[in-house]
Amino acid sequence: MTHVSIIVPVLNEEAAIQRAVSRLCRDFPDCELIIVDGGSTDATAELAALHATVITSERGRAKQMNEGARHASGDILWFVHADTDIDPDALDQIRAALADPAVVGGGLTLRFDRRTPALNYLAWTSNARARRLHHIFGDQAMFVRRTVFDELGGFPDLAIMEDLEMSRRLHRLGPLRLLPATSTASSRRLTAHGTWRMIAFMQYLKLLYFAGVDPEAIRTRYTAGPRLFPHRSRAAERTSPT
DSSP string, the chain: ---EEEEEEESS-HHHHHHHHHHHHHH-TTSEEEEEES--SSSHHHHHTTTSEEEE--SSHHHHHHHHHHH---SEEEE--TTEEE-TTHHHHHHHHHTSTT--EEEEEEEESS--HHHHHHHHHHHHHHHHT----GGG--EEEHHHHHHHTSS---SS-HHHHHHHHHHHHS-EEEEEEEEEE--HHHHHH-HHHHHHHHHHHHHHHHTT--HHHHHHHHHH-S-SSHHHHHHHHHHS--
Average pLDDT over residues 31-41: 97
Average pLDDT over residues 89-107: 98
* CATH T-level topology, domain 4-188: Spore Coat Polysaccharide Biosynthesis Protein SpsA; Chain A (3.90.550)
Has residue 229 got a pLDDT over 60? no
- pLDDT tens digit string along 110-140? 999 999 999 999 999 999 999 999 999 999 9
- φ/ψ of residue 18, rounded to 5: -65, -40
For residue 189, name the pLDDT band (cuts at 50, 70, 90).
confident
Residue 226 pLDDT: 87
Has residue 50 got a pLDDT over 50? yes
Q: Which amino acid is at 39?
A: G
Q: How many other C-beta atoms lie within 10 A of the C-beta of residue 152?
A: 16
Chain-centroid distance, C-alpha 227: 23
Has residue 232 got a pLDDT over 80? no
Look at the pTM and tell me if it is higher than 0.85: yes
Average pLDDT over residues 85-111: 98
Residue 182 pLDDT: 98
Q: How far apart, in whole angstroms, are the C-alpha atoms of residue 222 and residue 214?
A: 13
Mean pLDDT of the chain: 92
Task: Judge whether 178 and 127 are in contact, CB under 8 Å.
Answer: yes
Domain ranges of the chain: 4-188
Closest C-alpha among 20, 158, 104, 164 to residue 7:
20
Q: How far apart, in whole angstroms, are the C-alpha atoms of residue 195 and residue 204?
A: 14
Closest C-alpha among 70, 134, 84 to residue 104:
134
